Structure 1
């Protein structure tokens, strides 16, 4: 394993490796879990070298408390990486190395993807995501980059970023990794109490049952049913549940047989925000 804290040192090292070799890239904010590790393993199989970035990006947080509380576990992250492969190159930069004293987001047009769901509830979030992902792509210059489907809206936005800015990288979406009770793996799960972590199984359970419910009920009936589940549980606050077109991410009012839909959900428990999604086809 090679560890770099500055982009200049990383780029110099990568330049010596490129000659006919493929570089895969897994961007993360650290606090690594099995979901992240599965992305690394896929990249290792499909590329000659893999770069893992660990950087808690301040410009994609619209809640300063969330930024402050986001878990930072670099030493443990590096231990996990070492256990997987010596072919992983870790880039763990400072804010200064990334932003060079100009910590601000650029404004991006993602053809409306940025205004749905997470964009409605986290103003400026996807400008921050677009800014950091584009910077990292320009630093690493990977052939392939791997993103988990837990952040499905982010995945679609990164694909749109690559398309609109003609970036020479292939974006590969990877399945959600789940804990034994179905809870989608997330770095934020580490902040949950043991009790809340068990109770949070209701999120995936509800999505799974809603998928079946949707087969014989309308969009509104399905939405109302999901809302009733969380409204009857005082430990949870439902921020949103929506059924949306998988490509445009626009919420739907009625079913069209030929289209693919996904259920998207955001829930608070112990003041910690958890998201999940599931194909509804």
Structure 2
């Protein structure tokens, strides 16, 4: 049964996140407009929408490209679930959590899925509380990087299961209370810095970089390349920047930033999966 657990998490995650999302799309979005609407022009990630729809809590999706391209995460999470299934079906065991029966591997399926589906809520609504939901999806993923890497260094699952959810909750509270436009960027940078510090500790402890084989080194750097490229497109497609054309179908934020972040998540999974492989 554990071999199919990743698929169960995937299906449950889709229902848990996407079903209420579709209900709001059909019924309308309650709540106050997000602070990104306060500026003129608005700073809501470029794609054009009618502010009157946000104020009127209208039905539908405000930014269709930035919203629907987040469905990529069903494919990326599905790929991770499929690989977990293959490893468990083949009886893979040992020290590598991603190739074992450990529930941490199944949680990563949800983290990869939520990274995309959580973002849909904000872009579909442009309301403040949905922006917090979008932030939650990023903290769920970024904090996983930190505490899974810590789990690789400290063979104690309780450290992961105690401090990971606490960190996510604390960062979500800070996100909700901190009234600053770039708060999520600062918080994510803090988590990524913590992850990189722990990755360096792992390299020093092992006496070799990124597990010491060409494949793991390549996978890690490809993941880094994806998130760097994604961040460049995110920056260049902000309101007023060269790649921001609000009424065009091609929206780099939705079509490049989101899927490239998902590609990074998959590449890191394959990087972790290679650890301790003979």
TM-score of the pair, normalised by structure 2: 0.27
**Structure 1 or 2: larger helix share?**
2
Structure showing the higher strand proportion among its residues = 1
Q: Which has the higher contact order (CA 8 A, sep 6+)?
A: 2
